[in-house]
Chains A and B, each alone.
Chain A
Amino acid sequence: MTVAINCEETGKKLQDAIAGSVISTGKTDILVDANKLQQVAGFLKNTAGLDFDYLTFVTAVDYLEYMEIVYRLVSLKNNRSLILKTRCYNREDPVIPSVVSLWRAAYYQEREIFDLFGIKFDGHPDMRRLLLWEGFVGHPLRRDYL
């Protein structure tokens, strides 16, 4: 079974390694500060015992107050999973650090989020719309679009 990793314990580890990175921990998910996302992601991928080498999905959810970006990480080695979340409060010009350099799986998914939610990923090599055409106005998956 791909067991969800103990988030409380992992959250503590993260907090010790990168001060101020963890905002809260839930049962299966950890909410981290967007400014520290790159460091957190690197820590999760490269620390022995965690080894989150496989990124399944990246997506965003618009809660109007903020937009939440959700990452599901899997460690193929240890057969563990983790849901990592971060929030973006700026709706006008939202920017989140990209994780493409760590997991290439995010390449199209981050472009898709940019297309449909308008969140820019800082550090992505090719930040363009993916599904909709160039010149399309707006970001349809935002709750206030329609």
Chain B
Amino acid sequence: MAIRTEPFYLNIGPQHPSTHGVFRLRVMLDGEVVVGLEPIIGYLHRGIEKLAETRTYTQNIPFTDRLDYLSSMTNNLAYCMAVEKVGAIKVPERAEYLRIIFSEIMRISSHMMAVGFFLNDLGAMMTPVLYMWREREKIMDLFEMVCGQRLLYNYMRIGGVSQDLPEAFLPAVKKFLADMPRYIDEYDQLLAQNEILLARSKGVGILPRDMAIAIGASGPVLRASGVKWDIRKMDPYSIYDRFDFEVPTGDCGDCYDRYWVRMLEIRQSVRILEQAIAQIPQKGPVCADVPQFFRPPRGEAYGYVEAPKGNIGFYVVSDGSIAPYRVHIYPPTLINITALQDMVMGWKVADLIIIFGSIDVVLGEIDR
């Protein structure tokens, strides 16, 4: 006699077990197999877009830190670039270099968190994360050195950055860059050919190329699906056209590719950093002359950068007053989870956790 079965709903979250943030998944299961999924978001919604309309342009910079709080620098940068486009402000040379240096250090830090927690989701409880945190700690020290903060930096300003480097910074970052390749080799040695990692992530949660483009995915998620699209290369903002680096891509867009693309990108970031440190002008202003109550002319602009998690953008509309008329935040991770349902269909619950982990989401950005 056949056993009667029926699908049932499982509620995962709002507190995700490995704390990517306050995210809730309503999963329909047939036994252990996922047959339906609905992400429910909004638990961290703070209405930043509305708040931004009542504050001056500069006062809005700290809000951007609190979007994707693992890559505050690139959020700062995207917002400042949007306002600079509206106000037609030219950023001094040295400030451009500082922006690139901190964006790339941020990318290394964010990717290490992504990979560490991806392995955590895989069941490698805390060990890979601690390895990754060993280096992230040094990155935090670098940031603390320059802006006194370890997580929410509020470092960029409209027209440049808030302060110049302390004397000890360049030697410290050089030492960090000299050590970094050795550490990446160590991670690769431990992880890249690890049998369990391969078995669990190869061919799991495939995001096909066409679907990646259709859902507007960006960042490592898009590149892992084989689309060679990196804004730093395709639309070089700031001074990215001066650096020599490659855009790694994956073959088929499975979880392993998303992990591997991130590891390769860390190496490329180290390359960019080495060049930037060698080229940075010795002296010079680090911020353009922008009044405290800055009033850009009427108009609108879209500033966007290649953040570690994808293409983050700010659409800023100015009405000529000291506060923006409208700020829209384009969040890469919200877009990247659009196809989550298709990616997890037919996989088991345990795979669902790693597929979700491999996208690398931060709920501060999804909910805004």
Q: With A61-B317, A108-B334 in contact, do A56 and B311 touch (Cβ < 8 Å)?
A: yes
A72 to B313, CA, bound (A): 11
Please tell me if A23 contacts chain B, counting CB pairs below 8 Å.
no
A79 to B328, CA, bound (A): 23
Residues of B within 8 A of A76 (CB): 213, 227, 229
Q: With A57-B315, A79-B234 in contact, do A104 and B215 touch (Cβ < 8 Å)?
A: yes
Please tell me if A131 contacts chain B, counting CB pairs below 8 Å.
yes
CB within 8 Å of B: which A126-146 residues: 130-133, 140-141, 146
A15 to B16, CA, bound (A): 50
Closest to B319 in A: A63
A146 to B50, CA, bound (A): 10
CB within 8 Å of B: which A35-75 residues: 53-57, 59, 61-62, 70, 72
**Contact at A56–B313, with CB atoms within 8 Å?**
yes
A141 to B334, CA, bound (A): 19
How many Cβ-Cβ contacts under 8 Å join chain A to chain B?
Answer: 74
**Contact at B214–A105, with CB atoms within 8 Å?**
yes
**Contact at A105–B235, with CB atoms within 8 Å?**
no
Residues of A within 8 A of B335 (CB): 105, 108-109
CB within 8 Å of A: which B144-191 residues: none
A79 to B236, CA, bound (A): 12
Please tell me if A19 contacts chain B, counting CB pairs below 8 Å.
no
Binary contact track B113-130/A, C-beta < 8 Å → 1, others 0: 000000000000000000
| Nearest CB of chain B from residue A102's CB, rounded to whole Å | 9
Range, interface on chain B = 20 to 34
Binds A, one of B26-34, B41-49, B71-79, B351-359: B41-49
Count of A residues near B, CB < 8 Å? 29
CB within 8 Å of A: which B240-297 residues: none
| Nearest CB of chain A from residue B329's CB, rounded to whole Å | 9
Please tell me if B202 contacts chain A, counting CB pairs below 8 Å.
no
Closest to B301 in A: A28
CB within 8 Å of B: which A1-54 residues: 1-2, 53-54
Please tell me if B338 contacts chain A, counting CB pairs below 8 Å.
yes
Closest to B227 in A: A76
**Contact at A1–B328, with CB atoms within 8 Å?**
no
Residues of A within 8 A of B328 (CB): 57, 59, 61, 70
Please tell me if B63 contacts chain A, counting CB pairs below 8 Å.
no
**Contact at A59–B214, with CB atoms within 8 Å?**
no
Closest to A113 in B: B328
**Contact at B216–A141, with CB atoms within 8 Å?**
no
Please tell me if B143 contacts chain A, counting CB pairs below 8 Å.
no
Please tell me if B65 contacts chain A, counting CB pairs below 8 Å.
no
**Contact at B42–A131, with CB atoms within 8 Å?**
yes
Residues of B within 8 A of A57 (CB): 302, 313, 315, 328, 330
Question: Which of A70, A105, A141 makes the CB contact (< 8 A) with B338?
Answer: A105
**Contact at B338–A107, with CB atoms within 8 Å?**
yes
**Contact at A108–B338, with CB atoms within 8 Å?**
yes
**Contact at B42–A130, with CB atoms within 8 Å?**
yes
Closest to B328 in A: A59
Residues of B within 8 A of A53 (CB): 213-214
Binary contact track A75-113/B, C-beta < 8 Å → 1, others 0: 010010001000000000000000000011101110000
A142 to B328, CA, bound (A): 13
Please tell me if B339 contacts chain A, counting CB pairs below 8 Å.
yes
Question: Which of A56, A79, A133 makes the CB contact (< 8 A) with B42?
Answer: A133
Known: A79-B234, A130-B41. 15 other contacts (CB 8 A): A1-B234, A1-B235, A57-B315, A59-B330, A61-B325, A70-B315, A76-B227, A104-B211, A104-B214, A104-B216, A108-B334, A108-B335, A131-B45, A140-B47, A141-B49
- By Cβ-Cβ distance, the 7 closest A-B pairs, closest first, are A105-B216, A2-B235, A131-B42, A59-B328, A57-B330, A131-B45, A104-B214
A residues touching B (Cβ–Cβ < 8 Å)? 1-2, 53-57, 59, 61-62, 70, 72, 76, 79, 83, 103-105, 107-109, 116, 130-133, 140-141, 146
Q: List 21 A-B contacts (CB under 8 A).
A: A1-B236, A2-B231, A55-B216, A56-B311, A57-B302, A59-B315, A79-B234, A79-B235, A83-B302, A103-B214, A104-B214, A105-B214, A105-B216, A108-B335, A131-B41, A131-B42, A131-B367, A131-B368, A133-B42, A141-B50, A146-B50
